[in-house]
Structure 1
Amino acid sequence: MTRTDREHLDVLIVGAGVSGIGAAHHLRARFPDRTFAILEAQDARGGTWWTHRFPGARSDSDLFTYGYRHKPWVGPSIAAGGAILDYLDEVIEEDDLAGHIRYHHRVTALSWSSEEHRWTAEVTRTDTDERVTLTASFLWMCQGYYNHDEPYTPEWPGTDRYAGTIVHPQAWPADLDHTGRRVLVIGSGATAATLVPALAKSADHVTMLQRSPSYWFPSPKVHELATMLEPLQLPPDWTHEILRRQYTQQLDWLAAVGHEDPDQLHTFLMDAITPLLPEGTDIEKHFTPRYRPWQQRIAIVPDGDLFEAMRDGRASVVTDTITEFTEEGVRVSSGEVLEADVVVTATGFDLSVFGDIPFAVDGEPVDFSQRVTWHGMMISGVPNMAYAFGYFRHSWTLRVDLVNDVVARIVERMGERGARTVVPELRPQDADMELREWSDPENFNPNYVLRSQDRMFKQGDREPWTHMQEYAHDRTALPEADVDDGLSYR
């Protein structure tokens, strides 16, 4: 079924997760007269927090920096997914955004016309199969960074003969009961750090199987500073700002030491977990990573709950590689079979380049792997399009807020110049610029990034063509970014 009428909007936002809702807030605050809509393929808001429904799903960042700059977070520093959805609902209500969000709207193609100075979005209603066409003067891509529909799962021999249940956390069945059952969790990243202690509360036993160890940090759910401030009964925005600055200082320290003295950071992280591990643990084998600290995200363990489950004997860790699945469980390279009734493949996700939506500019398909980013928020040769991409090692939203500020300045500059189009274009001095991978493996090297390098856009060796900076850099550099440098208005 196709609807032929075309609605035109000033701004089209793709995605109603943390990034899209944040972008809409900035749009309402800075440009209250602009018409806009938020298209969301899922049936509710939240993005990651709507997709992730596995036991114990919670933040892996403190909420005082993960929450929006304009909206004080009230509650523990580490919160469950439901509390984060409640927070987003409050933002939607306060900004009167509900009427602008269109659920079940999956964007299937985006094309730009220089003649018309507008984007055309082809959309399919996931609930009715109706096809809708929208046009917009400006496109704001806030669809997130991974494929919500198809999680990453390696191929292992023998999965077809395994008699138990295999489930990926990203597609957790609502009716899966693990009570009293033996559970094997494959992986040791942030998702495993959440799942293992949650499952261990009612499972017979939970085994975490890892190829190699990760770095962990036993952070308190409630910061000791928050406990000190509570009797003072400060206004929520005061408490929010104080704790936001405290956590930012902590992030700055981790980033600085991770780059300047990784051995010191390694010692700090190992000293933090060693007293919490079961007596006799082989720390070298199970808890000493092969990579430099800060090359990957440090997994948060609220109040050390993962290690508590291990001390109590409800959970354990095996470090080995998978040879095959058997009828009873998983055989590892040592020859041991880890018997399990449920196998959870906490093996990560695949990065998605702008939702894997086909883009075209004036009829020519856009190959993003041949394009260059402008400050990690626009793409060379792609007009009137901004995108939200946060941090991996810091709170995602810290960067989203900064990006939204710059996008607002760009839109204001368009108005000042009477321009209908803004497009990043390499400058004459960039003709011989070295093009680098989207993510430097020496800086950040988790598998989900390395698997996707060939599909992602490039960055240059100089500003404004760089990406993936630390917050300590961006919070000064982005507010000062020259919105004329590398951008053409016409």
Structure 2
Amino acid sequence: MVVHVDVVVVGAGLSGIGAASILKRDCPDKTFLILESRSAVGGTWDLFRYPGVRSDSDMSTLGYSFRPWRDSRALADGDAIREYITSTVADEGLQPAIRLNHRVVSASWSSADSRWTLTVMRTPTGAEFTQGDQQDATITITCSFLHVCSGYYRYDQGYTPEIPGLESFRGRVIHPQQWPADLDYTGSRVVVIGSGATAVTLLPSMAERAEHVTMLQRSPTYIASVSSVDRLADRLRGRMPERLAYALVRAKNIGRSQLIYQFARRRPEAMKGILRKAAARRLPQNFAIDPHLTPRYEPWDQRLCAIPDGDLFSAIRRGKADIVTGQIGRVTPDGIDLVDGGHLDADVIVTATGLSLLYLGGMRLVVDGRDVDVSKTLAYKGMMLTGVPNLSMTIGYTNASWTLKADLVARYVARLMTFMDRHGYRSVTPQADSAVASGQLTPLIDLAAGYVRRSIRSLPKQGERTPWRLHQNYVRDFILLRAGRVTDSVHFGLAGERTPPGMPTGLSGRRVRRPRRWRRQ
């Protein structure tokens, strides 16, 4: 039996649960399912279990707009965030709609039926198999609208580059994405390979039990110490209505993050000086800020790493940790030889070397019998694809909390579906005119991070101007997605109307003129 619902949300992480909650609130007449490939909700915050895993942005903006964050910690650990998500599931009544261990393999759109047909693989650890493996592992689900909240990296494996001699190492080699529950590193010498958010989180946490922890980096990253508590939130808590206090703190932190980002992009040398001086105040006098904390790129070309209360600097100051900048020559049975002749003793090597990008959860997209090459599509408002009807996706910010953008996208989707119901439309397809398609195009995620560069050719493109550019600016996106028209540069279709020819390839189409009745939508 084929199950049909109005909306399928792919992913039960922070953005997927938020999207389903907003859908239930704003479109109470819509039926929906949440399909999650793993065996638990929580997404990133259930997957990563390495020591010290935490948020790197404040919880008043990483949390949902409709659900105040009540913990006193502004930067929360993974357990607390996972509990926040599961509590949302319970309070919003989402559990009946969640299907765990359900991975969407392919999605095929039929214009004749105005619906998606999903091929879904189930694993035998799901609740449906408690009576025995009697049901087919592959099922079919149809829906009118598909909302993908699966993030953009692979959950089943991280990225580990080719490291000469790694197989000869006598100790444990761990990737943070597959952290073993039985690892005891007490009294061990640990080398963490990497310099990103995961590495700077691991170093101070592991230093509490390890004999010594070294962060071995090929090139440094910008690091900023931030307070682990929000003083304004603490002052307002209990003195005014909870939602009002939460809204004020959220607005303050949104504004603050945008100001810091804009300052960094417009005055990079000044920002470098501020970060350098702040680090020097917390580090030993003999610490070599150059080269260990002097990146070759400009601030926010890659995401800036936040450390709560300078914990990484404190671990270095106590002599429990250090940073080494250099290239690996070869891994030996007892450590790592460096190209410059140095050697690092190690009992445990942690390869915090990044993510493997996987767009749209790796699902195959088909529109009216033709495969969609996602790399040849244009992203519309950072959340839909040219030539692909009734599909939205969540791509969060790289310079602010992911959930800020996820919230805007979810509310826009709800508003879009309400508009379509009001006017009797069954499909909506973004269409780029020839001027946009022939202009300068760049990858959707414009970030110099390694995981983006490695997969840059597989990403959708973005144009030079709105609505074809993914802005890293919450205020602009708020105006565009919360107050802007839902009728710009899209084609609305009636039942059985075929998707305009050529559009699944993405970079073609005609200019869409708005009828008079749409002017105020």
What TM-score results when the alignment is normalised by the length of structure 2?
0.90
Question: Aligned letter for 1:382?
Answer: V
Contact 1:439 1:468 in 2 (8 A): no
Contact 2:379 2:386 in 1 (8 A): yes
SS in 2 for 1:173: coil
5 Å-filtered alignment, 1:42-61, equals 42-61=38-57
5 Å-filtered alignment, 1:461-480, equals 461-480=464-483
CA distance in 2, matches of 1:8, 1:448: 36
- Of 207, 211, 217, the match for 2:214: 207
Q: CA deviation at 1:127?
A: 2.2
SS in 2 for 1:134: strand
The corresponding residue for 1:142 is 149
The corresponding residue for 2:343 is 337
CA distance in 1, matches of 2:163, 2:224: 31
Alignment: residue pair count: 482
2:460 aligned with 1:453, yes or no?
no
5 Å-filtered alignment, 1:73-88, equals 73-75=69-71, 76-88=73-85
- Aligned residues with identical type, % of pairs: 44
CA distance in 1, matches of 2:437, 2:336: 53
2:381 aligned with 1:375, yes or no?
yes
Contact 2:398 2:472 in 1 (8 A): no
The corresponding residue for 1:160 is 167
Q: CA deviation at 1:227?
A: 3.9
SS in 2 for 1:147: coil
Contact 2:48 2:176 in 1 (8 A): yes
2:133 aligned with 1:130, yes or no?
no
Structure 2 unmatched ranges of 5 or more: 126-135, 494-521
Contact 1:109 1:123 in 2 (8 A): yes
The corresponding residue for 2:132 is none
RMSD: 1.4
> Residues 18-68 of structure 1, C-alpha deviation per residue, up to 9 Å, x if partnerless?
111011011101111111100001110010001100011111110011001
Question: Aligned letter for 1:115?
Answer: A
The corresponding residue for 1:405 is 411
Contact 2:105 2:363 in 1 (8 A): yes
- Of 83, 98, 104, the match for 2:95: 98
The corresponding residue for 2:128 is none
2:20 aligned with 1:27, yes or no?
no
The corresponding residue for 2:490 is 487
Residues 119/340 of structure 1: CA separation in 2 closer, same or farther (3 Å cut): same
Question: Aligned letter for 2:38?
Answer: Q
2:291 aligned with 1:294, yes or no?
no
The corresponding residue for 1:225 is 232
CA distance in 1, matches of 2:409, 2:9: 14
Contact 2:334 2:345 in 1 (8 A): yes
The corresponding residue for 2:35 is 39
CA distance in 2, matches of 1:468, 1:356: 24
CA distance in 2, matches of 1:430, 1:200: 52
Q: CA deviation at 1:234?
A: 3.1
Question: Aligned letter for 1:353?
Answer: Y
The corresponding residue for 2:130 is none
CA distance in 2, matches of 1:261, 1:285: 21
The corresponding residue for 2:513 is none
Question: Aligned letter for 2:189?
Answer: R
The corresponding residue for 1:173 is 180
Contact 1:406 1:481 in 2 (8 A): no
> Residues 209-259 of structure 1, C-alpha deviation per residue, up to 9 Å, x if partnerless?
0111111111111123234435x6333223322221221122011111122
CA distance in 2, matches of 1:247, 1:431: 36
CA distance in 2, matches of 1:483, 1:427: 17
Question: Aligned letter for 2:325?
Answer: T
My pick for the range that moved more, 40-49 or 88-97, is 88-97
Residues 254/114 of structure 1: CA separation in 2 closer, same or farther (3 Å cut): same
CA distance in 2, matches of 1:397, 1:211: 31
2:274 aligned with 1:268, yes or no?
yes
What TM-score results when the alignment is normalised by the length of structure 1?
0.96
CA distance in 1, matches of 2:186, 2:267: 44
The corresponding residue for 2:396 is 390
- Of 51, 62, 69, the match for 1:66: 62
Question: Aligned letter for 1:473?
Answer: R
CA distance in 2, matches of 1:311, 1:431: 54
SS in 2 for 1:166: strand
CA distance in 2, matches of 1:205, 1:422: 57
Q: CA deviation at 1:416?
A: 2.1
The corresponding residue for 1:11 is 7
Question: Aligned letter for 1:409?
Answer: R
- Of 243, 247, 266, the match for 2:253: 247
